[in-house]
Structure 1
Amino acid sequence: GCVCVRVCVCALSLSIFVVLMGGVEKQRLKTDQLLMSCTLVKLCIGMIDAGKAYNAANKQFVNGIRELAQQSTKDEVIEVIRKHSGLISNGHSCDCILWQRSIKTQLQTFVKDDLRKFKEAKKQFDKVSEEKEAALIKNAQAPRNKQHEVEEATNILTATRKCFRHIVLDYVLQMLSFMYAHLTFFHQGYDLFSELQPLMKQLGGQLDQLVVDAAKEKRDMEQKHSTIQQKDFSNDDTKLEYNVDADNGIAMEGYLFKRASNAFKTWNRRWFSIQNNQLVYQKKFKDNPTVVVEDLRLCTVKHCEDIERRFCFEVVSPTKSCMMQADSEKLRQAWIKAVQNSIATAFRDKGDDGEKLDRKSSTSTGSLDSGGEPKERPLKGESALQKVLAIPGNACCCDCGQPDPRWASINLGITLCIQCSGIHRSLGVHFSKVRSLTLDTWEPELLKLMCELGNRVINQIYEARREELGARKPQPGDPRHEVEAYIKAKYVDRRFVRRPSDEELRNKPAPMPATLPPPSPCKEMVFYEPKEYSSGLQLYWASFARSLPDMAEALAHGAEVNWVNTEDDKRTPLIMAVQGGSLVTCEFLLQNAANVNQQDAQGRGSLHHATMLGHTGQVCLFLKRGANQNAADIDEKTPLTIAVEAANADIVTLLRLAKMNEEMREAEGPYSQSGDETYQDIFQDFTLMASNDPDKLNRYQHYDPQRP
């Protein structure tokens, strides 16, 4: 029994040593480990008390044997038992004294003194850590245009960082004292474990080395105390490097502020990392990571200088964007470079995974200006892909020539490979709106738009002067930065567009339509000889003539999509597209940011004109694109009033359903996006009919304001 108890004591002491040594290696003990140490001390005391109770019961048993032996002095067996019981009693008394002196006393001292001091040091460390976090947050929130606040936040952060390092050193020194307490404990218990000489000898050697290492660490820490006073921590940036071959799979990690996507746009500090070609973050180290970007090949990264906070950058994916803030400009540049390197590395290593990526990546948001419109029926997947790729020139990427593209720019009417589609997204939706040909649903009018343009038509416009200027067209596999530079020169700077010379402009005939327009419902259409050529006028008449290539050329020459013809009742290209009667022409202008609610001199917008002309398909399109059906013209007539007077049942039905759906959504709350299912079904039917069989819808005469 004595040997078993002593072995248990040895095992318990070794367990405490392992727990505490692990904390020394990490240079900090977690709170739960400290609580476990206290629990073990209590258990040890309970074990000693149980040993005392056992010793008392055993002593009573021995006394009973002695009393029995006094009555049986001649019995040899009883005499042997009596002598043995005396040895047992003396041995247990000795062991109990040793336990009391070598274990209980030292453990109580450890808990009351050493552990208490260590806890106080840890509390102070945690407090200063929180103050540093608060200083970091205040420094990050300092607006760039208030220099005094920036300087104040920077000074506070510098002072806090210095204080933090002092406390860290004190914390480590207290830990060393903690180690000395352990050293004393094990030396005083050395006599108790004399039976375990081999183990104790090995342990003694380790303790001696620990003493030497602890003394060395203490001297180093004391030297660092003096070094901190001389070091400047005003720009305390952690050195971050992108390492794609890291053993743990994490190419880069560190703290960033993340702007929430809620209505309050709050900023929270999170631990971000780039791993497995994904951008993820954690609230706490134990939390499961939250994925921000599923695949970095589908995203782009850019600086953000148009917001109040400093050092911000944005990672844009097909489905969302994430705004983040670094602690300094150096860290921002490091993160942007890391994301760009991850994108480039992913493309180099993708091999045959490009095809799989198109099919497994998340569905894009579709038409970016369509708001909460309902999805149209099944022009999706291979159907849309086959129709679009059948157009001449669309079988290869418009910008780099990569075969079998799976993405498209819907406002340009071109097909793109996955790398070029990511670059197009980075240009912004005012230059290019990207959709997937295999994952997204395609409205019939949008699919027809793609089929009327195509890579060959657009390249004849945007690459007209490329060979003349000696510019090299990218090839599949070229570095991303070269492809990105070419695409920006092509679509943003429009460097390769052939612009008419002054002489050509003087001799260029007026951009008149090939056929006369239908009579205006409000007044007679007046044709005039324009004073001079302009790209806006070209877009104006091309919209009426239903010529998408001419419209695309006018936009490439810099035409304003909402250009107003002051000599023709202040009409716009979109109103002329309504006059021309083409649904696809209206869709093209809307995809290129035409204002659906812009009014002419009579106070009529595109919805008014479509209603007056009885173009049901256009009415359906404008309602889906957010046209204001409550707007009244100078005669105080709304589109619904005009439709009722013209007895156009289809348009009246659409306008009333749209009004009812709007009221239902307002009743459901400001964040409701669903609307009525009946409304969605009816609009889908009208959309399909307008694209596939428009004659069935255009069965009403034009509106006559003089009609009784």
Structure 2
Amino acid sequence: MTVKLDFEECLKDSPRFRADIEVVQSDVSELETRLEKLVKQCQAMLEAGRVYCQTSKSFVNGLRDLGHHCSGDQTMEECLDKFSKKLSIILEAQGEVIETTQKSVKTKLQNFVKEDVRRFKDVRKEFERSSECLEGALVRNAQAPRGKQHEVEEASNALLNARRTFRSEAMDYVLEINVIEAKKKTDILMAMLSLMEAQAQLFQHGHQSLSELDEYRRKLNEEHTQFVLNSAREKRDMEQRHAAIKKKDVSYDDSIMDFNADAANGIAMEGYLYKRASNTFKTWSRRWFSIQKNQLVYQKKFKDQPTVVVEDLRLCTVKPSTENERRFCFEVVSPSKCCLLQADSERQQQGWISAVQNSIASAFQEHREDPHSPRQRCSSVTANSSGGGGGGADQENKGCKALEEVQAIPGNKQCSDCGEPGPDWASINLGITLCIVCSGIHRSLGVHFSKVRSLTLDSWEPELIKLMCELGNTVINRIYEARIDEITIKKPHPSSPRSDKESWIRSKYVEKKFIQKLPETGRNPLQRRSSGRRNRADTQDRAVQRPPLKPKPNRATLPRLTGLSPSDLVQKNNTHKEVEEEVEDLSGLHPGALLYRSAALQNFPVMADALAHGASVNWVNVAEESSTPLIQAVSANALAACEFLLQNGANVNQADSTGRGPLHHATILGHTGLVCLFLKRGADYNAKDKNQKDPITIAVDTANADIVTLLRIAKMNKEMREMDGAFGQSGDETYQDIFRDFSHMASNNPEKLKRRSADART
């Protein structure tokens, strides 16, 4: 250990010793200042190093993500993966250097300042205090008078003690000076040595890691050189092709028209067309159309799900449209809709018309060769079901349910208008089955006359199937063809020209030439009734004045007489006297009142007869709180009757004089199935009656948990759609599933809903 001050010199307390002391003190103070500054700088370096490591790790993660993005390019993926791994190893080593610096440099230097320098300062204070005491003792000893022996002795003793203390403190101070001088060297050198070793290990480790990539770097450098040459060559080729194409005539507007029915991607034809919307403003939108899988579809963006315009090209026709102000227009007409399209030129118009016509021909050819057509599939499913088929047959059977159940109704196995066997189309508001030709004619009449739907291609709700099974071709034709024998017009047959079928259908449903004329007595309004058999005496009095109406094809007595001929009715009434007692005279009612009364008793033939004779589906009975036929059907919990009225244009929100609409009444009566139906048909669940109660409040008051659930789900679903915007989702899938389940239960197991409602009220 190097001796900074000599112990012998400190005992003399010479001026040289004092000068050396001052030099040492100044040196220690300077050392303390510099070490504190160095510790702060080290702390800043460590913080910056940690930030650098964290940022570098983010950069390495970015390289790794870029490599995953370039997974299709093996060269780039391999390069980024290898380099990111090596950088990760180097960053880990750099993190270790930072920790070493923290422990070896900052901590040691900080401890030297806080402990060793502080101890030096404490010893220095003791030395200075003893030095002052010695100085005072010397002064008092020098001033002691010769004649006062006791003062001389006291001063001598005090001086002896002060000198002894000073020499002890001086030796301790010299020792501390020599110790701190030696420790200064060892601590600082050790800290620097640790730091240098850590840095050396870092760079050696980094060099070793990157040296492992020497061969790969050489290989990658060669590939990069080749890439540069290839890129320059491709750029030159593209510039030459670009210049060559610019020399050609690019002033033409027609795009390339190419119809290929056997295209590998299944797209026979595609291109841009303008499509006229079916809204009030008849706006035109440019969309990308394509013919694929025997369908005409379009989409706005490539990632959008294609929208189907024509589900089956075999069911449509195409023709130019000259009635529109726009040029190059053509129509694609199917039984369910008519789509007006516009091409950019006459050449494109002709190309699309030819493409659709060729696709129709190809679709028919494929249908003849396909053993799995809808009708054949239903037949095979029926055979499999009777023979114990598997789960796949059950799934197919579910898809053919509408076709099988509706065609099982008497008269429905032939077209209602031309008699063609095996019709697979239907008019859901009339309740009849149609062939494909007649369905197209019905479609042209407009939805206020006939709503056409496919029995095989469209999805059918349970209440619609139930409605179709309540009517049928036989019942409806007895109404709309009641006077066919009195008129010379002949009913068309399957092979009749389309023009004959169209003329017949318009005469039958639009002009209503063949229905039974309404008797003059059928003009009286409905009188007020107090109950289900309101004022039976009053009814009997009216029956005496005007005899009951005998059963006719266009009139029926109540209760329900679906499918009975006049002779069958007479025989049935003679056999069952109790039924005759329940018969109500309806001959004096005009069509609106007739529809009103028959709706309450679920007599579908009479309801259809009333509508055929011009009854307003929203007729109001002022004598009974302005009730409507739809509200009467609700009172009877007649699900199919409500569906029939709604399909024929009944207002689902029309309220009576109490302010209650059909949804209010269905909620009050606890008819869960009807609540579900009305919500699906757009009923307003926020409408309030005169008591300021909406259906949700009524359902809560009656403790009907099912109806409360339906109403709240409908409200939540509407709020979700409004939140998504005008072009948002059509509805939550859970909402659709719940309403589908309730609809199925209301049509097939209504007793379960009654039981559930009773349990909830209990």
Q: 1:480 aligned to 476, 482, 498, which one?
A: 498
3-state SS in 2 of match to 1:498: coil
1:282 & 1:604 partners in 2: Cα distance? Answer: 43
Question: What's 2:520 paired with?
Answer: 505
- Letter matched to residue 684 of structure 2: N
Residue deviations 1:405-435 (CA, integer Å, cap 9, x gap): 2222211111122222222223222222222
Q: Please report how far the alpha carbon of residue 582 of structure 1 lies from its aligned counterpart in structure 2 after TM superposition.
A: 0.5
1:459 equivalenced with 2:477 (yes/no): yes
2:660 & 2:703 partners in 1: Cα distance? Answer: 19
1:532 & 1:335 partners in 2: Cα distance? Answer: 62
Q: 1:494 aligned to 500, 508, 512, which one?
A: 512
Question: What's 1:384 paired with?
Answer: 402
* Pair 605,611 (structure 1): closer, same or farther in 2 beyond 3 Å: same
1:468 & 1:694 partners in 2: Cα distance? Answer: 44
* Pair 629,474 (structure 1): closer, same or farther in 2 beyond 3 Å: same
Q: Please report how far the alpha carbon of residue 535 of structure 1 lies from its aligned counterpart in structure 2 after TM superposition.
A: 1.7
Q: Check the 8 A contact 1:571/1:601 in 2, yes or no.
A: yes
2:483 & 2:531 partners in 1: Cα distance? Answer: 34
Question: What's 1:315 paired with?
Answer: 332
1:489 & 1:340 partners in 2: Cα distance? Answer: 32
Q: Please report how far the alpha carbon of residue 341 of structure 1 lies from its aligned counterpart in structure 2 after TM superposition.
A: 9.5
3-state SS in 1 of match to 2:712: helix
- Letter matched to residue 391 of structure 1: I
Structure-to-structure mapping, 1:73-472, within 5 angstroms: 126-127=250-251, 129=252, 258-259=275-276, 265-268=283-286, 293=310, 295-299=312-316, 314-317=331-334, 321-325=338-342, 358=374, 380-472=398-490
Residue deviations 1:632-657 (CA, integer Å, cap 9, x gap): 12221101111111222221122122
Residue deviations 1:560-613 (CA, integer Å, cap 9, x gap): 222233343332221121122211100111111211112222222110111112
* Pair 646,305 (structure 1): closer, same or farther in 2 beyond 3 Å: farther
Question: What's 2:605 paired with?
Answer: 549
1:380 & 1:633 partners in 2: Cα distance? Answer: 42
Answer with 429-438 or 526-535: which moved more: 526-535
Question: What's 2:666 paired with?
Answer: 610
Q: Please report how far the alpha carbon of residue 461 of structure 1 lies from its aligned counterpart in structure 2 after TM superposition.
A: 0.9
Question: What's 1:572 paired with?
Answer: 628
Structure-to-structure mapping, 1:514-593, within 5 angstroms: 516-517=531-532, 533-593=589-649
- Letter matched to residue 544 of structure 1: A
Q: Check the 8 A contact 1:316/1:322 in 2, yes or no.
A: yes
* Pair 566,391 (structure 1): closer, same or farther in 2 beyond 3 Å: same
Identity percentage of aligned residues = 55
Residue deviations 1:486-507 (CA, integer Å, cap 9, x gap): 222222222222222xxx2226
Residue deviations 1:281-323 (CA, integer Å, cap 9, x gap): 999xxxxxx9964655413569989987578664233676421
2:457 & 2:289 partners in 1: Cα distance? Answer: 32
Question: What's 1:675 paired with?
Answer: 732
2:355 & 2:521 partners in 1: Cα distance? Answer: 50
2:363 & 2:492 partners in 1: Cα distance? Answer: 15
Q: Check the 8 A contact 2:287/2:298 in 1, yes or no.
A: no
Total equivalences in the alignment: 442
Question: What's 1:623 paired with?
Answer: 679
1:347 & 1:485 partners in 2: Cα distance? Answer: 29
3-state SS in 1 of match to 2:520: helix
Q: Check the 8 A contact 2:705/2:757 in 1, yes or no.
A: no
* Pair 463,666 (structure 1): closer, same or farther in 2 beyond 3 Å: same
Question: What's 2:722 paired with?
Answer: 666
- Letter matched to residue 739 of structure 2: F
- Letter matched to residue 499 of structure 1: K
Instruction: Show structure 1 runs of 5+ residues with no match.
Output: 1-117, 134-251, 284-289, 362-376, 520-525
Q: Check the 8 A contact 2:298/2:309 in 1, yes or no.
A: yes
Q: Please report how far the alpha carbon of residue 388 of structure 1 lies from its aligned counterpart in structure 2 after TM superposition.
A: 1.7
Q: Check the 8 A contact 1:358/1:418 in 2, yes or no.
A: no
2:360 & 2:592 partners in 1: Cα distance? Answer: 40
Q: 1:644 aligned to 700, 725, 738, which one?
A: 700
* Pair 401,281 (structure 1): closer, same or farther in 2 beyond 3 Å: same
Q: Please report how far the alpha carbon of residue 665 of structure 1 lies from its aligned counterpart in structure 2 after TM superposition.
A: 3.1
1:506 & 1:564 partners in 2: Cα distance? Answer: 20
- Letter matched to residue 677 of structure 2: L
* Pair 594,669 (structure 1): closer, same or farther in 2 beyond 3 Å: same
- Letter matched to residue 606 of structure 1: P
2:490 & 2:752 partners in 1: Cα distance? Answer: 50
Q: Please report how far the alpha carbon of residue 342 of structure 1 lies from its aligned counterpart in structure 2 after TM superposition.
A: 9.1
Q: Check the 8 A contact 2:274/2:286 in 1, yes or no.
A: yes
- Letter matched to residue 660 of structure 1: M
Q: Check the 8 A contact 1:421/1:434 in 2, yes or no.
A: yes
Pairwise CA RMSD of aligned residues?
5.4
* Pair 382,599 (structure 1): closer, same or farther in 2 beyond 3 Å: same
- Letter matched to residue 427 of structure 2: S
* Pair 648,326 (structure 1): closer, same or farther in 2 beyond 3 Å: same
Give the TM-score of the pair, scaled to structure 2: 0.48
Question: What's 1:168 paired with?
Answer: none
* Pair 539,668 (structure 1): closer, same or farther in 2 beyond 3 Å: same
3-state SS in 2 of match to 1:323: strand
Q: Please report how far the alpha carbon of residue 442 of structure 1 lies from its aligned counterpart in structure 2 after TM superposition.
A: 2.6
Q: Check the 8 A contact 1:517/1:580 in 2, yes or no.
A: no
- Letter matched to residue 480 of structure 1: R
Q: Check the 8 A contact 1:542/1:551 in 2, yes or no.
A: yes
Q: Check the 8 A contact 2:522/2:587 in 1, yes or no.
A: no
2:479 & 2:353 partners in 1: Cα distance? Answer: 34
Q: Please report how far the alpha carbon of residue 346 of structure 1 lies from its aligned counterpart in structure 2 after TM superposition.
A: 10
* Pair 271,569 (structure 1): closer, same or farther in 2 beyond 3 Å: closer
Residue deviations 1:184-206 (CA, integer Å, cap 9, x gap): xxxxxxxxxxxxxxxxxxxxxxx
Residue deviations 1:424-455 (CA, integer Å, cap 9, x gap): 22322222222232343332221111111000
Answer with 308-317 or 645-654: which moved more: 308-317
2:466 & 2:397 partners in 1: Cα distance? Answer: 11
Q: Please report how far the alpha carbon of residue 667 of structure 1 lies from its aligned counterpart in structure 2 after TM superposition.
A: 3.4
- Letter matched to residue 387 of structure 1: E
Give the TM-score of the pair, scaled to structure 1: 0.51
1:654 equivalenced with 2:672 (yes/no): no
Q: Check the 8 A contact 1:604/1:633 in 2, yes or no.
A: yes
- Letter matched to residue 316 of structure 1: V
* Pair 691,261 (structure 1): closer, same or farther in 2 beyond 3 Å: closer
- Letter matched to residue 323 of structure 1: L
Q: Check the 8 A contact 2:592/2:616 in 1, yes or no.
A: yes
Q: Check the 8 A contact 2:331/2:341 in 1, yes or no.
A: yes
* Pair 454,680 (structure 1): closer, same or farther in 2 beyond 3 Å: same
- Letter matched to residue 452 of structure 2: V
1:512 & 1:346 partners in 2: Cα distance? Answer: 62
